[in-house]
Amino acid sequence: MSIYNFNAHLIDGEEIKLDQYKGKVVIVVNTASKCAYTPQYKDLETLYKKYKEKGLEILGFPCNQFAEQDPADNDEIKRFCQINFGVTFPLFEKIDVRGVNAHPIFKHLTEVSPFQGINEDTASSRMLYAYLKENFPDYLLGDSIKWNFTKFLIDRSGKVVRRFEPSFEPMDMEADIELLL
């Protein structure tokens, strides 16, 4: 099974089959508009513009599960992303990414790409780990999504190559992306 087996609704409501991304390198990311990691939209857009013609797609899935950091409706989220970060990559309807109501694509992604821990080499990583440990210790258990801006890099055959936890900056994914293009 790959991401190609799933459907999702674009932020405007249109249902699409993810098999339209066959043969592309894809980043699937859960997003939020009021998170400390929200500026990652800018770097995701930079990567998208730089590599789209070479076959990169970025699929953004807004989520409000983490400290209610994306409370707006889909129209407001779309406007926010376009106005503040110039986002042109596809955004999807707001969904759950963990728990019993998690969208099937995120259930699949977390099954095939288990949580490997939060690398505490950076201040951002240490802060995220400390915040989760103090406020949401159960989030650190299992393979579920831990926070906003968890990124999954998927090769041209639909296989997850690597999972990047939220504090991993998008531009630091560039070498991994280039290897797959």
- CATH number where 40 lies: 3.40.30.10
**Which residues are known to be catalytic?**
35
Count of domains for the chain = 1
| 87-129 pLDDT tens trace | 999 999 999 999 999 999 999 999 999 998 887 788 888 899 9
| 45-84 pLDDT tens trace | 999 999 999 999 999 999 999 999 999 999 999 999 999 9
Backbone phi and psi for residue 26, each to the nearest 5 degrees, phi listed first: -125, 140
Interstrand relation of 151-154 and 56-62 (parallel, antiparallel or unpaired): unpaired
Round to whole Å and give the CA distance between 122 and 119: 8
89: domain range? 3-180
